[in-house]
Amino acid sequence: MAEELVRQGAHVAICGRDAGAVSRAMHLLLSRHGADVLGEARDLGKEEEARAFIESVVARFGRIDLLVNNAGVIQVAPLDMLDVAKLDEAMRSNFWSAANTTFAALPHLGADARIVNVTSVGGRVPLPHMLGYTASKFAMVGLSEGLAAELRARGTKVTTVVPGPMRTGSFYNAEFLGRQREEFAWFSVLSSLPLLSIDAEVAARRIIRAAREGRREVHLGLVGRLLPVLHGLAPRLFGMVTTAMARLLPPPGHSPERWKGREINSTLPGSFLLGLGDRAARENNEEPPV
């Protein structure tokens, strides 16, 4: 997203919790496009950190014309491997980061400003083995649609983005609990295969175009378009399908440890199943295993 905005001539500021990832992203944008990007390592799930970041942006650029809330974590695990603390982590990263940053930015939005909230198809329909992610994305959809209703009269237009799996290589930074290798296998393949996942660059262009046009909502990818329609037309049948999916997915394991995808000893990285996902990870600063 930052790269596409730079291509279109925007002055860009980026923020993330991982200082190394922020530094690498800044280096990539500088080396590829000569872009002097403002980057800070902060936990936007904390109100004071979000406020400090927005203050830095305003001090550098004077105002904010476009705010993109795209932060988040992905936890992949059966219910028995979760607890309230893990749900709170998902809410803090996926929901509160967007809420904190938006409220901090509101006084500094320029005329005809735009806010983009990148949610998920998991914010429209339940996804088995992704309870924390789904709950936090449902909350983010509600926040985004509520903001759209109240801010439009001020000239600020809010776009809710509902993508299916995006081919960014993010499965290497997702967290897996329970039977970690088995959970990694299904999730990484789903996030890599064409038709089931959407190319990150294509998604970025569509998102930015939707923001320019002031669209309230945009669905990306076959999964992002199809699942909400099926859920709305036949909720009972959809519930039966997700119940069956939950039974087919790996049962709870005995290990309480959480592993990131890049830490999992799997034969999948480098295989043809993850070919597109591995390439996307290299292009999108997701640190695939070497």
Enumerate the active-site residues.
133
Judge contact between 158 and 68, C-beta under 8 A: no
User: Identity (one letter) of the amino acid at 253?
Assistant: G
Q: Is the dihedral of CA 139, 140, 146, 149 positive or negative?
A: negative
Judge contact between 37 and 68, C-beta under 8 A: no
Judge contact between 164 and 121, C-beta under 8 A: yes
Question: Which DSSP letter does residue 165 get?
Answer: -
Q: Phi first, then psi: what are they for 57, rounded to 5°?
A: -65, -45
Instruction: Tokens for 233, please give them.
Output: 């037309």
Which residues have CB under 8 Å from 58's CB, separation 6+? 64, 108
Instruction: Tokens for 119, please give them.
Output: 């949610």
Question: Between β-strands 198-199 and 166-167, what pairing exists: parallel, antiparallel or unpaired?
Answer: parallel
